[in-house]
A and B are shown apart, each in its own frame.
Chain A
């Protein structure tokens, strides 16, 4: 009997301590707080005609060449709550570009870009001010912007297409 008592105690021990675990399993749950991503923006091609030059041998475009463009973008999901879009203009040597908000209201509902103009050096931020009632930017909305291009001799007389890259990043 003395030999059996410790065995019985060990077997009953879990019960003596409280509730017995009958079964246990692990199951991982992944929650994806959906990131907001700027997936794509349409490419645009602008042709600069020769009359834009002041005269033969001119080193500058006549005035600044204004290119009105509609920034069309696709987002991974509708854009809610982000406060700003960063952009960076990368222009070839001799070509200068300025990006600014067009005079037209950019979007219905009162979104506007601040500041109104920025230049091509470095990274700039376009703030989005929100005015009441707008329900965000749905995927595929357009953002009306204006691109001002000027060029020196090297840039203006280039016979090959020049590419200006504008890199956008939204937060």
Chain B
């Protein structure tokens, strides 16, 4: 292999790698802090009632993915950083109605996922996505134990290729 060929190979790899790093993931919440109120009780507005075992928050995560030039497949993952074991658990569910179906790899998108300390797939997408709404739910909250603000630090990660849903 000549020196020119070797340099060309290195340049090709560098270019390919550079292209992969050009995509951007943006995450916003429609509102934060999110209020959990008497409307979230299992029997809403009822004295003595506890929170429902699972309830959706009024706030959603909004993901925007840009920088793709074509119809590459990618996977959006999420995990929690430094969460207290006493905090109620939180789960995510991508709202497939918020994106064009041509942007969804359905076989790689879970119906919902519970956030843990290990990254798990949330949504398997194709190409750029302008607005993907992700519904957030709370599980296991109790009126007597969970009072005040709970901070969930969510790490969002986009990887190439579709999600591998177990």
Contact = CB atoms under 8 A, between A and B. Distances in A.
Interface in B35-65: 35-38, 41, 45-50, 57, 59, 61, 65
Interface residues of B, number: 60
A136 B45 contact: yes
A7 B90 CA distance: 43
B34 A29 contact: yes
B20 A136 contact: no
B74 A136 contact: no
Given A21-B158, A22-B159, A24-B155, A32 B149 contact: yes
B32 A80 contact: no
Interface residues of A, number: 33
Contacts of B138: 31
B161 to A, nearest CB: 5
A95 to B, nearest CB: 35
A20 to B, nearest CB: 5
A33 B14 contact: no
Interface of A: 1, 4, 7-8, 11-12, 19-35, 77-81, 130, 134-137
